[in-house]
Amino acid sequence: MKFGILVFPGSNCDQDCFYVIKDVLGKPAKYIWHKDTDLAGLDCIILPGGFSYGDYLRTGAIARFSPVMKSITEFARKGGTVIGICNGFQILLEAGLLPGVMLRNKDLHFICSYVYIKTENNDTRFTGLYNAGQILKIPIAHNEGNYYIDAAGLKELRDNNQIVFRYCSAAGEVDDQSNPNGALDNIAGIVNKKGNVLGMMPHPERSSEKELGSEDGYFIFQSIVKWLKV
């Protein structure tokens, strides 16, 4: 089983994801340059965080036109496993692989901090190793993580059980106080209808080792490995 990690100009968590897959998870990984289109032999694609094209226009707005994104769309259509983290999530939204948009954080500042999220759906290929409702300690680092979707879209997300993670307090309360960026319904991560594409603002690759203060994110990668094996 092999992971592919996309590299856009301005990606800056690509090497962190590579390290986690290869050195922590112990699985093969390779970088995919944004101008490449060949995804043969890959089982899971990671769109890492960063500032693709500087995010000068709108987060992810230019990256979605990279040649590789056509291949990713096809890969996802066929049921391939795709995970977008932070800027990767924003790119998936721009590319239409996930529904909704990102607004600026409610306090208009970039926020880098540990937060807590609640596993709302552990019946996905990304979350199979978590208990239902499990609370994860995991960092966020973004300027535009204020997720928004219209009422009909939100209803659809809820009805299809597509909301995977919600921001919460250390004790698990999902409320305004524990919502760091103003995201609608405290949404921190969602999957597409088919459940093979995950987008999340928090960084699991930054919370996969004890030395860094939390290992809670590690089990997202481990869940994928387990799911792909079955």
Partner 1 sequence: MVKPDVYHSLGLSDKEYRYILKILKRNPSNTELAMFSVEWSEHCGYLCSRKWLKLLPKTGKYKTLIGEDSGGIILDDLAIVFKMESHNHPSQVEPKQGAATGVGGILRDIFTAGARPIASLNSLRFGPLSQAYNKYLLSGVVNGIQFYGNCVGVPTVGGEIYFDESYSGNCLVNAMCIGIAKKEKLMRARAYGAGNAIMYVGSSTGRDGIGGCSILASNEFKEGEEKRPTVQIGDPFTEKCLIEATLEAINTGYLVGIKDMGAAGLTCCTSEMASAGNSGMDVELQAVPRREENMEPWEIMMSESQERMLVCIKKGKEEQIKKIFLKWDLNASVIGRVTEDGLVTVRDNGKIVARINAHSLTKAPIYDMPYRKPSYLRKLNKLEFSEIPDVKDYNKVLLKLLAAPSITNKAWVYRQYDHMVQTNTVVLPGSDAAVIRLKGTNKGIAATTDCNSRYCFLNPYRGAQIAVIEAARNLVCSGAQPAAVTDCLNFGNPKKPESFWQFKNCVEGIRDACRSFDLAVVSGNVSFYNESPKSAINPTPAIGMIGILNDIHKACSQNFKQEGDAIILLGYCREELGATEYLKEIHHLTKGDIPQLDLKLEQAVQKTALKAIEKGLVNSAHDCSEGGLAVALAECCISNKDKMIGADINKLNYDMRLDALLFGESQSRIILSCSKDSVEKVRKMALKFKAPFYVIGKTGGRVLRILNDTEELIYLSLEDLNEQWSGSLRKKIEG
Residues that bind partner 1 (CB under 8 A): 9-10, 12-13, 15-16, 19-20, 23, 49-51, 53-56, 109-113, 139, 141, 143, 170, 203, 205-206, 209, 211-213
Exposed, middle or buried: residue 176 (CB in 10 Å: 0-12, 13-18, 19+)?
Answer: exposed
Residue among 66 and 196 whose Cβ is closer to partner 1: 66
CA distance linking residue 165 with residue 186, whole number of Å = 8
Tell me which of 34, 86, 94, 142 is the catalytic residue.
Answer: 86
CA distance linking residue 169 with residue 155, whole number of Å = 24
Question: What is the CB neighbour count within 10 angstroms for residue 36?
Answer: 15
Residue among 132 and 170 whose Cβ is closer to partner 1: 170
Report residue 68 CA to chain centroid gap. Answer: 18
Minimum distance of partner 1 from residue 98's CB (angstroms): 23
Minimum distance of partner 1 from residue 68's CB (angstroms): 15
Residue among 50 and 100 whose Cβ is closer to partner 1: 50
Residue among 26 and 96 whose Cβ is closer to partner 1: 26
Tell me which of 94, 144, 168, 203 is the catalytic residue.
Answer: 203
Whether residue 112 lies in the annotated active site: no
Minimum distance of partner 1 from residue 74's CB (angstroms): 25
Minimum distance of partner 1 from residue 126's CB (angstroms): 20
CB–CB of 205/13 below 8 Å?
yes
Whether residue 205 lies in the annotated active site: yes
Q: Is 137 helix (H, G, I), strand (E, B) or coil?
A: strand
Amino acid at 91: I
CA distance linking residue 43 with residue 21, whole number of Å = 13
Q: What residues are annotated to the active site?
A: 86, 203, 205
